[in-house]
Chains A and B, each alone.
Chain A
């Protein structure tokens, strides 16, 4: 089974702090993603990566950056946390296969509260 782990389940930070959210997958997947989930808005893509040291902006990248130094690890960075970044953050990884498309596998999520 694919396993995607996230470094924290719950996190409380203060406005202005730099926040690191870590995600690790153990299935050698090429693709990794960061989403945020808010009530009524579903999942919104922040950043994704198709390879080591490669990153692409998603739909809502403002206020975030990412790092992918190793294939299995994808980090989301909040440079200066703000209260509107209070949310559930979900990491996912995937592999695209011909004839099967792309199935995304998710971590348990990190619920971040910015005070």
Chain B
């Protein structure tokens, strides 16, 4: 069975400080990995995804995530956060065998001025 664990439910961080949101997964088959962002009172938006190739993937707004197969992790990082990054972040996996998608319980990122 597959599962996704987001280790921190809430992460407060000061503006312009770096942040890491942690995600670990368990799966007996190959997976594709995703980070979604949900701004207040909105739906989820795809932030970035790892399919294959380079283990480091980047988003257009400065976030990056690194796939670590040995540690079964896909942590999300940003070197300097902005107030506008305040949101809920969800890690998710899609199983290689098709049509199975699993979400973590989310991490609430609050950027403090």
Q: Is B17 an interface residue (CB 8 A)?
A: no
Supposing A101-B95, A101-B96 touch, asked if A42 and B90 sit within 8 A by C-beta, the answer is yes
Q: Is the CB of B43 within 8 A of A107?
A: yes
Contact residues on A (Cβ < 8 Å of other chain), bracket? 20 to 34
Q: How far is the CA of A100 from the CA of B46 in the complex (A)?
A: 14
Supposing A42-B106, A43-B103, A102-B94 touch, asked if A108 and B42 sit within 8 A by C-beta, the answer is yes
**What B residues does A105 contact at CB under 8 A?**
46
Partner among A4, A103, A107, A111 whose Cβ is within 8 Å of the Cβ of B41:
A111
Contact residues on B (Cβ < 8 Å of other chain), bracket? 20 to 34
Q: Is the CB of B42 within 8 A of A42?
A: no
Q: Is the CB of A42 within 8 A of B43?
A: no
**Which single residue of chain B is at the shortest CB-CB distance from A100?**
B51
Q: Is the CB of B52 within 8 A of A43?
A: no
Partner among B32, B36, B99, B106 whose Cβ is within 8 Å of the Cβ of A50:
B99
**What B residues does A50 contact at CB under 8 A?**
99
Q: Is the CB of B42 within 8 A of A109?
A: yes
Partner among B49, B99, B103 whose Cβ is within 8 Å of the Cβ of A42:
B103
Q: Is the CB of B90 within 8 A of A108?
A: no
**What A residues does B51 contact at CB under 8 A?**
99-101
Q: Is B112 an interface residue (CB 8 A)?
A: no
CB distance from B43 to the nearest CB of A (A): 4
Q: Is B34 an interface residue (CB 8 A)?
A: yes
Binary per-residue interface labels of chain B (46-57) against chain A in the complex, 1 for a CB within 8 Å, 0 otherwise:
100101100000
**What A residues does B34 contact at CB under 8 A?**
103
Give B residues with C-beta under 8 Å from A: 9, 31-32, 34, 36, 41-46, 49, 51-52, 90, 92, 94-96, 98-101, 103-106
Give A residues with C-beta under 8 Å from B: 4, 9, 31, 40-43, 50, 90, 92, 94, 96, 99-109, 111
